[in-house]
Structure 1
């Protein structure tokens, strides 16, 4: 079974080398759309293209999370280009657990599911703290669909940003699915700049104007920002990056 990884990027130099080191270990094909990066993202991608099956496309759309930004257009373009039997949509700040390579081949060979669900671990403030669900804020510790069979009509809904998947005739969650006990780790809020421009729409760190450093102690009153210590082990790629 072959796997195509699809990823849109915009100024992801903090994560791209880690991301590409990880996905090139299991992906048969990697498709990337750059949204107009002004940092070192393109040069990092091109350095990996010399040895790996990576196709890079360009679709400059303006500032992320504004009306100029059309995420579903970009992601559906990548879906249309994918040649693998399975598609894995993995963002540049997400890293699969090291168990992925040993577990997934057997699952793909025998599963009757159309979509695969994975537990997601969202780091918050640093690589040792995990944000979890709280009342009125149940979006941090849920399963997440990150792989599906290619060619059966699964696409992204027509949404400007944070678009969601849909099945050919029904909701994506109505399709046959299987939960895979291999975590995917989300490092966006763990290191690097921690917050991208215009990526604090709910005000969780009091940076509505996108200026300054995140205030990790800020509580805006609509819900609790609940965290727990990380009790697992980071993937080898991240351990090397952290020097542990």
Structure 2
């Protein structure tokens, strides 16, 4: 579905990505791991057209999207849950959801507001509240729901559970597991490896703008030292 080859990019004249390469198959979930400042969010922003790619390839479903603007990339079927959530603060939770509603990829069973409320029942109770009055966990659920309302073929979550209480993290993991069960393709950036191992098919460790290691969840379980080598401060 998505193939990234030798991607380089950054901010201004500062290069952050150096030959970044990874892939996502249809129906697969992968996780990008790494310490802060290693290039994970830069990778996501470049995939989404929020930053220009300097060189390399980004192919989505057989077509290059490397030079497309962000709006056209979103219309191709990439949905982003950004770091920091970035919900529309002055709209209600319900208005945030309907603001992005679209089925451009022709999903047979598209996401609707009712399905989002089934996925996150707590949002239904807060549907008339201004989004900036929601808790951090509720805002994250809203951000996921808003992305799903675009009916993405590939869902990208940047720092999926950063700063959330353990009980809310559990709800996010349950949500991702449910999405996997219906064939949703996912890229997730997070650091909770043990919980992620039950959700994703493969891990990619990002170090200094490159993939330093990749492998299955089973491979991580067999070699716990991977965490110490690449993620310990």
Q: TM-score range, shorter-chain basis? A: under 0.3
Please give the TM-score of this superposition, normalised by the length of structure 1: 0.26
More helix by share: 2
What TM-score do the two structures reach when normalised by structure 2?
Answer: 0.27
